[in-house]
Amino acid sequence: MKLSIFVILILIASLHATELIKPIPTDSITNKQKVALGKKLFFDARLSKDDTISCNSCHDVAYNGADKTALSFGVDGQAGQLNSPTLFNALYNIAQFWDGRASDLKEQVKGPLFNHVEMATNEKELVNKLSQDKKYVNLFFQIYGDAINLNNISDAIAEFEKTLITPNSKFDLFLKGDLQQLSQQEKEGYKLFKNFGCVSCHNGVNIGSNMFQKFGIFAKYDEREENLGRYNVTKDENDKYYFKVPTLRNITKTSPYFHNGSVEKLENAIKIMGYYQLGKVLSNEEITSLALFLKTLDGELP
């Protein structure tokens, strides 16, 4: 017997009411002029000390918003200490960087600019360099009514980064009511995702990135681990080895995984998460189902 439209609407409403994961909104509001300027700056290697590194060098927006290597390389070929997290959907993060030291995108911009391993510039040098470009001078004055300064540089780049969202994944469409989007095995993977407790940390619009969690709840993941995570910001002993929970959106494209980029394959990352975060030894069948579900989180590239 066919269900009435009224009953179907009630079921969909019930689904939304009980879900801990939310679809990406498609109506984000940005300033188009600032976005265009921010995009120009994002791809401009002149923002680095030696004119070799742009924001896009470590956050490839044509691919995954992150880097393809475990660690990124800045000026003079210096290697960073952590894996570059994706900028896709970073608008929805509780904070920026693995340790959450930047409260928002605008503050995050300044980190790589002044980090001696990454872009290695300073405020005076950066402003002076961009001020030599008449096109930039005119654009900043038209948009901000002011000369080029650090506040406006970071504001424009952050405005561009707000547009780097990946909506309309299969799972988003499923959440919006198109229950045929997922195969039976993908649905089984989502069921395991909830039953095992993965969703307790990976939830919200970004399916993660809205809390900090200890890496290695049931056992220490790496005895050689030197990065203390959130502790570096708070100096609270209880925050040692806590990192921002990464987003699972577009996870199939953001290998290598974890804060140190130590794992290449998604299936291996799932196995490790099961053991160290959930205290479970996952079967190959369970890992396959979970991986299939995670692939439904790939959205439309910006």
- List the domain boundaries for the chain: 32-161, 170-295
Catalytic one among 118, 159, 186, 286?
A: 118
CB 190 within 8 A of CB 60: no
Q: Read off the DSSP letter of residue 181.
A: G
Q: Would the CATH topology of 32-161 be identical to that of 170-295?
A: yes
Q: Which of 264, 270, 261, 259 minimizes the C-alpha distance to 292?
A: 270
Q: What is the pTM of this model?
A: 0.90
Q: Measured between alpha carbons, how far is 215 from 241 in angstroms, rounded to an integer? A: 6
Whether residue 264 lies in the annotated active site: no
pLDDT tens readout for residues 270-280: 999 999 999 99
Distances 134 to 160, 262, 289 between C-alpha atoms, Å: 21, 44, 55
- The helix (run of H) or strand (run of E) holding residue 242 is strand 242-244
Check pLDDT > 70 for residue 232.
Answer: yes
For the chain, the farthest-separated pair of C-alpha atoms sits apart, in whole angstroms, at 72
Fold of 32-161: Cytochrome Bc1 Complex; Chain D, domain 2 (1.10.760)
Tell me what pLDDT residue 133 has: 98
* Per-chain mean pLDDT for the chain: 93
pLDDT tens readout for residues 239-256: 999 999 999 999 999 999
- The helix (run of H) or strand (run of E) holding residue 161 is helix 150-161
Q: Which of 105, 113, 103 minimizes the C-alpha distance to 86?
A: 105
- Which residues, in sequence order, are CB contacts of 128 under 8 Å at separation 6+? none
Tell me what pLDDT residue 19 has: 85
Average pLDDT (189-193) is: 98
C-alpha R_g of the chain: 21
Check pLDDT > 60 for residue 11.
Answer: no
Check pLDDT > 80 for residue 4.
Answer: no
Query: What class has domain 170-295?
Result: mainly alpha
